[in-house]
């Protein structure tokens, strides 16, 4: 795993003797390995051990398995985070306490507990704010990893979860053939094998998302491309909402080609729905321009995801501009 704010992990209230930090570098060229090595050499007493590993394949799925395969035998839990995340100093302590309490109440069948993702603590650009709002909306990714929920609840998608190592071993870890969605695929296998997946808002993680429109377009295409790979492995993992844009497009096209006068009704209803989302987010974020910006981003997300889905259906291998670990 990679970390952005080293101090947020090194200075946790959770006893340093009870955890270590594994950093998996994906052949970065920005001096990350040198920075980490220097930090290791200057670790202060009372800080957790830091281990630096290399991921020659660069993709996140391989990084996850490299960290998993290099765990000491005595490690029972693994917490995954990313380079662009920060969290409270008591994050590990309160989440581990909750995990152990919930595990005791559920016959020891808890595989993972995810957390809630929040915007970064530093000031965002307007585009970054638009992306944040769109991801948090139910028409974006707001029902999955970016859901803004309350309390403790069962889920299929636990963002940046704490996992039990024995649960991961029972399903042979991550599928590193998948460039994205390997965590979703892992959770599906865990649930299929009788494990429970939960999420909780007892703490949070601040994550920096995409910051440019081009990154947003690539995000949509890449997720669509790899979602169809996931569906081929697990046919039941196809929410109807993810193919709704294709259904709407084909319905409108068929009505138009059939000469139906009211062929425009489906796209009109779609526009009404995404502009309602724009109203909701502009009120929630107190930014009037979101009335126009959020519908634009939602439309572009649905379009690029659908194109990526079709692309992934017919093309083997990796998508152009696939995400690599940095």
Query: Rounded distance, CA 20 to CA 76, Å?
Result: 12
Q: Cβ(170)–Cβ(193) under 8 Å? A: yes
Q: Cβ(143)–Cβ(135) under 8 Å? A: no
Q: Cβ(188)–Cβ(156) under 8 Å? A: yes
| Three-state secondary-structure class, residue 61 | helix
pLDDT in tens, the chain (326 residues): 434 455 578 889 999 999 999 999 988 888 889 988 998 898 888 889 999 999 998 888 889 999 999 999 999 999 988 878 888 999 999 999 999 999 999 888 999 999 999 998 888 899 999 999 999 999 997 678 888 899 999 999 899 999 999 999 999 999 988 888 888 899 999 999 999 999 999 999 999 888 899 999 999 999 999 989 888 888 877 777 888 999 999 999 999 999 999 999 999 999 999 999 999 999 999 999 999 999 999 999 999 999 999 999 888 776 656 655 43
List the end-to-end C-alpha distance of the chain, in Å, as a whole number: 11
CA contacts within 13 A on the Cβ side of 40: 15
pLDDT of residue 271: 97
Query: Rounded distance, CA 259 to CA 51, Å?
Result: 66
Nearest one of 116, 69, 101, 82 to 1, comparing CA atoms = 82
């Amino acid at each position: 795993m990679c970390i952005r704010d080293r101090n947020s992990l090194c200075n946790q209230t959770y006893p340093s003797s009870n955890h270590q930090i594994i950093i998996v570098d994906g052949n970065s060229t920005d001096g990350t390995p040198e920075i980490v090595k220097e930090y290791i050499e200057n670790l202060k007493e009372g800080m957790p051990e830091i281990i630096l590993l290399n991921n020659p394949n660069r993709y996140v799925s391989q990084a996850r398995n490299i960290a998993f395969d290099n765990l000491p035998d005595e490690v029972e839990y693994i917490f995954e985070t990313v380079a662009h995340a920060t969290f409270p100093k008591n994050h590990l302590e309160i989440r581990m306490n909750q995990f152990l309490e919930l595990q005791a109440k559920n016959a020891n069948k808890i595989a993972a507990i995810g957390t809630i993702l929040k915007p970064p603590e530093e000031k965002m650009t307007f585009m970054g704010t638009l992306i944040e709002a769109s991801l948090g909306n139910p028409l974006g990714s707001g029902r999955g990893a970016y859901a803004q929920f309350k309390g403790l609840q069962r889920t299929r998608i636990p963002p940046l979860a704490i996992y039990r190592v024995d649960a991961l071993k029972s399903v042979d870890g991550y599928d590193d053939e998948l460039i994205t969605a390997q965590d979703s695929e892992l959770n599906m296998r865990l649930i299929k094998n009788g494990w429970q997946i939960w999420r909780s808002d007892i703490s949070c993680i601040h994550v920096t998302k995409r910051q440019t429109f081009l990154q947003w377009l690539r995000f949509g295409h890449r997720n669509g491309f790899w979602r169809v790979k996931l569906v081929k492995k697990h046919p039941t993992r196809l929410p109807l909402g993810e193919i709704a844009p294709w259904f709407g497009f084909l319905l409108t096209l068929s009505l138009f080609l059939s000469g139906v006068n009211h062929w425009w009704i489906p796209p009109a209803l779609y526009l009404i729905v995404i502009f309602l989302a724009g109203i909701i987010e502009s009120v929630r974020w107190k930014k009037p321009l979101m009335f126009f910006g959020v519908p634009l981003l939602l439309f572009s997300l649905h379009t690029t995801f659908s194109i990526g889905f079709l692309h992934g259906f017919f093309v083997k291998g990796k998508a152009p501009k696939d995400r690599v670990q940095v």
